Amino acid sequence: MSDSTTTPSHTLRNVSLLLLVLAAGGWWWNSHRTAAADAAAPKRGGAPVAVAVAAVTQQDAPLQLSALGTVTATNTVTVHSRVDGQLMALHFEEGQMVQKGQLLAELDPRPYQAALTQAEGQLLRDQALLQNARLDLTRYQQLLAQNSIAKQQVDTQQALVAQYQGTVKLDQGAVANARLQLDYSRITSPLAGRAGLRQVDPGNIVHSSDSNGVVVITQTQPINVLFAVPETSLSQVLAAARDAKGKLQVEAWDRDNRHKLADGELLAIDNQLSTTTGTVNLKARFANADAALFPNQFVNVHLQLGDQPNATVLPSVALQQGKVGSYVYTVNPDQTVSISKVKTGAVSGDNTIIEEGVKAGQKVVVDGLDKLREGAQIKVIDRAALAESGGSGKGKSHRSDASNSQNGKRPHASAAN
């Protein structure tokens, strides 16, 4: 008869086997949970990177070249006295706008008035001698016709008349020169423009050889801006100038490139490249009716070159440079980013035309680029809304939604502000 009673050793063996099974199951469950958590966690091992994005668009892109320009006066004249004398009075205010022919200064006219009087007196004297010689010649010619006088005497008198005629001509020139010297004692403006600071005070003796002159006048209406473009852009400028028949539009912006100062047009392209800088000089002209441009002022110049139709454009701040060349971070549906190599074209304002690499409708990162890498997890925020709420990264984050994209809104990149 078999003994069904369980021995203590058998019971201990069953308990050990049960504990082993439970330990193996716990190890498997814990490993599975850790793997799932790792898969759900961000690939960088931390919080998602907060970024701002913008959409790639297709549009007619205005083309322009940007350059640093220098405002130059159309004409700059140092007004000199053309005669010597004591400066009696100035008839302009420093910085005043003056008109062409306006009286600027007066020298002591008395020496020149006296010289004019002497020249006029000499002229009158010689004119009287000429008149008397002509009367004598008439009488001699009548006597010669009656054979009452020798022909030699008539010829001599005729030569005397010619001599006095030459003397009168000299006297007339002397009178004109004396009158001109007298006019030069009144210094007038040779052009319309702005008068600078006076270089001499009344009471001083002014010489025609003075290097500083009396005042410098600059013509500021119209006014010119000189700027240079690289040799690589010259063909584009020449083609645009031909299409526009030389009437390319030019904008002048302030030093910070925030406020437009004036609109003008391209006036001239230099006839040769600079071998030192590899650039060509261009000149634009501005009406400057509001005097917003000032001689020797530095401005940012935007030369308009027409439009490129149906161009694929994205914000220039999204572009990065690396070993692969130009690239951008494109946003994937799973809120990660990928590096996309692009081929860039011309710059259009704050945007850059893309010839290859991305398509219209894709989204690219425009802010927070320094923390990204291939496959990084991101969190899209609206920088503009965050700034309006008074937050600087400490407040509540505002996630951009699909409605913003449909309305054509894009976050503002901090690099562009």
**330 vs 27 pLDDT, higher one:** 330
| Residues 189-238: tens digit of each pLDDT | 999 999 999 999 999 999 999 999 999 999 999 999 999 999 988 888 99
- At 365 the three-state DSSP class reads strand
Architecture of the domain delimited by 81-107+187-213: Beta Barrel (2.40)
| Residues 253-304: tens digit of each pLDDT | 999 888 999 999 999 999 999 989 999 999 999 999 999 999 999 999 999 8
pLDDT of residue 112: 96
pLDDT of residue 233: 86
DSSP letters, 138-207, are HHHHHHHHTT-S-HHHHHHHHHHHHHHHHHHHHHHHHHHHHHHHHHHTEEE-SSSEEE---SS-TTSEE-
Domain 49-63+309-416 CATH (choose: 3.90.1310.10, 1.10.1040.50, 3.20.20.70, 2.40.420.20): 2.40.420.20
Domain 110-184 CATH (choose: 1.10.287, 2.60.40, 1.10.3470, 1.10.1400): 1.10.287
Q: Where are the domains of the chain?
A: 49-63+309-416, 66-72+219-308, 81-107+187-213, 110-184
1 pLDDT higher than 70: no
pTM flag (> 0.85): no
Angstrom distances, CA of residue 24 to CA of 16, 19, 30, 31, 32: 12, 9, 10, 11, 12
CA distance 80 to 346: 50
